[in-house]
Chain A
Amino acid sequence: MRISCPHCGERDHGEFAYYGDATKRRPDGASDVETFFEYVYPRDNPAGSHRELWYHVGGCRAWIVVNRDTRTHEIFSVEVARKRGEPSQGAGAGAP
């Protein structure tokens, strides 16, 4: 599997670290327990199109959002996470 980094071009996925479901957004710190439970634990875990966060740790160190088919590993799109206003953990190398 190769991922086209928006900054570095097509690279082997071994250069990237996986963080998981990109549709999850960290709730406000004052949120109740149920909201945090929903953020941390349940997953849709789809067989098909999956929006997910990867970190280009062996390259430009950008957080990216990859839309990938979990049945075939075909990649539909790759975007820089910050540009799309993705979750705050996508904003820095120290995340999550």
Chain B
Amino acid sequence: MRYSVFSVLSQALKGNTGWKPVWREPEPKAEYDVVIVGGGGHGLSTAYYLAKNHGITNVAVVERGYIGSGNIGRNTTIIRSNYGEHGNIPFYEWSLKLWEGLEQDINYNAMVSQRGVLNLYHSDAQRDAAARRGNTMRMHGVDAELLDVAGVRKLVPNLNFDNARFPVYGGLFQPRGGTVRHDAVAWGYARAADSRGVDILQHCEVTGIRVENGHALGVETAKGFIKAKKIGLACAGRSSQVAAMAGLRLPIESHVLQAFVSEGVKPLIDTVITFGAGHFYISQSDKGGLVFGGNIDGYNSYAQRGNLPVIEEVMEEAVAMFPSIGRLRVLRHWGGLMDMSMDGSPIIDKTPIDNLYLNCGWCIGGFKATPASGWCFAHLIAQDAPHEVASAMRLDRFATGRLINESGTGAQPNLH
């Protein structure tokens, strides 16, 4: 069913009794042209763009849990393209452009809200770095505005401007950045891919990858062997384990990142704001809850829960920026697996095994990349060549030295 004003109105008159499930629950076929391992945002968008851009519709997305059960349903929902490295900027800008047209493209309300992303700076040196980043962005055709303190006051009057330790000097603002309803991204891509013939196989864990003479032949799953002409891995925090099934070792460590939602309050913060003197980002959801987070905990973890020192740090940063929220209560918080790469940038590339393709290393920033990641991974799988805007995201860059070192912290994943 195509969604429109008329479909919503007619359902309202019928008491909303006519809505059908928005994707099928098929049994696996014996063979597919492409099997995508991982039904998160990146896997679903890859399947959708394989069908839409390349006409490859005999595709399965194989998911261990259910659609929306991983990080695509648990993140701080921020989209932006304020990067500073040449290998990153065109990719993330393409992703932002895809977000801008996503809802019309997939006929699904993802609540894309370009409410702006503001990165605060707190010293002269940070202002110079912000100006440099803003100029780099503008040279790549990305929007950026350097605001002085008066400009920030106009935008966010309730910040703690005169903090004795970290006074606000100004901010770098990207007006086209913002937030997206994360669950709707998963559901919308799943529905759009399904409607083009993609099979979404939930509760179908991959237990092995069959490789003979350097060729990938298919995947062993909880529902039996599925033959595949090509296999794409989009497994986020579980990438190391799934790649190991094909004998690969990755430049990845899995870490835990925590995030938080406060109780709902009246409109208080109408943009996305990041703290320049720590690592902290905050926005307000349409339900009124403040959605915020900070650094990863900093140690290898698959536990999907973190520890108290990071929670304390995040709360301190929140109150340093907005003393007025000090008495708000945290409604819930969670921890998710991050596939931290060794230079802080992602990998979209072929592997040394024929017909096996890799998409991983998104660190703490995978959500905003969901459309372009799928777009470029689908291109790689269909054309057997990297897409122009993802051509630097190679697996062999760690051996050749062509790193995309956005944060400049070296091969130390807990510092990205």
Q: A residues bordering B, Cβ < 8 Å?
A: 1, 12-14, 18, 20-21, 33-34, 37, 40-45, 47, 50, 52, 68, 70-73
Interface of B is mostly: mixed
Within 8 A of A (CB), among B305-329: 307-309, 312
Q: Do B250 and A42 have beta carbons less than 8 Å apart?
A: yes
Q: B309, A12: Cβ atoms under 8 Å?
A: yes
Which residues of chain A are near B264, meaning CB under 8 Å? none
The 17 sampled A-B contact pairs (Cβ below 8 Å) are A1-B307, A13-B309, A18-B298, A18-B414, A20-B253, A21-B300, A40-B411, A41-B342, A41-B398, A42-B249, A43-B251, A44-B240, A45-B300, A47-B254, A70-B254, A72-B303, A73-B301
Judge whether B342 and A70 touch: CB under 8 Å: no
Q: Please classify the interface of chain A as helix (H, G, I), strand (E, B), loop, or mixed, using the class held by over half of its residues.
A: mixed
Residues in chain A near residue B398, CB distance under 8 A: 37, 40-41
Closest-by-CB residue of B relative to A73 is B303
Question: Residue B66 at the A interface, CB < 8 A?
Answer: no
Partner of B302, one of A33, A40, A70: A70
Assembled-state Cα–Cα distance A52/B411 (Å) = 16
Supplied contacts A14-B308, A42-B249, A73-B301, 8 more A-B pairs, CB within 8 Å = A20-B300, A20-B413, A43-B250, A44-B240, A44-B249, A45-B240, A45-B250, A52-B300
Compute the total of residue contacts between A and B using a CB distance below 8 Å. 67
User: Which residue from chain A places its CB closest to the CB of B403 in the assembled complex?
Assistant: A41
List the 7 closest A-B pairs by CB distance, nearest first: A14-B309, A45-B240, A41-B251, A42-B249, A41-B398, A47-B302, A18-B299
Contacts A18-B299, A20-B414, A71-B303 given; indicate if A37 touches B254 (C-beta within 8 A): no
Contact with A along B405-416 (1 / 0, CB 8 A): 000000111100
B252 at the interface (CB under 8 A from A): yes
User: Does B195 make an interface contact (CB < 8 A)?
Assistant: no
Q: Which positions 329-385 of chain B face chain A at CB distance < 8 Å?
A: 342
CA A37 to CA B342, docked complex, whole Å: 11
1/0 per residue B244-259: CB within 8 Å of A?
Answer: 0000011111100000
Residues of the A chain whose Cβ atoms lie less than 8 Å from the Cβ of B135: none
Alpha-carbon distance A42/B250, docked complex (angstroms): 5
Residues of B within 8 A of A1 (CB): 307
- CB within 8 Å for A42 and B251 given contacts A13-B309, A37-B398, A71-B303: yes
Q: What residues on B are CB-neighbors of A40 within 8 Å?
A: 342, 398, 411
Cβ of B305 to closest chain A Cβ, rounded Å:
8
Q: Verify A37–B309 contact, CB threshold 8 A.
A: no
List of A residues within 8 angstroms of B250 by Cβ: 42-43, 45
CA distance A41 to B405 in the complex (A): 14
Q: Which residues on A sit within 8 Å (CB–CB) of B308? A: 12, 14
Contact of A20 among B303, B307, B412 (CB under 8 A): B412
A-side contacts of B252, CB under 8 Å = 43, 45
Instruction: Note all chain A residues with C-beta closer than 8 A to B126.
Output: none
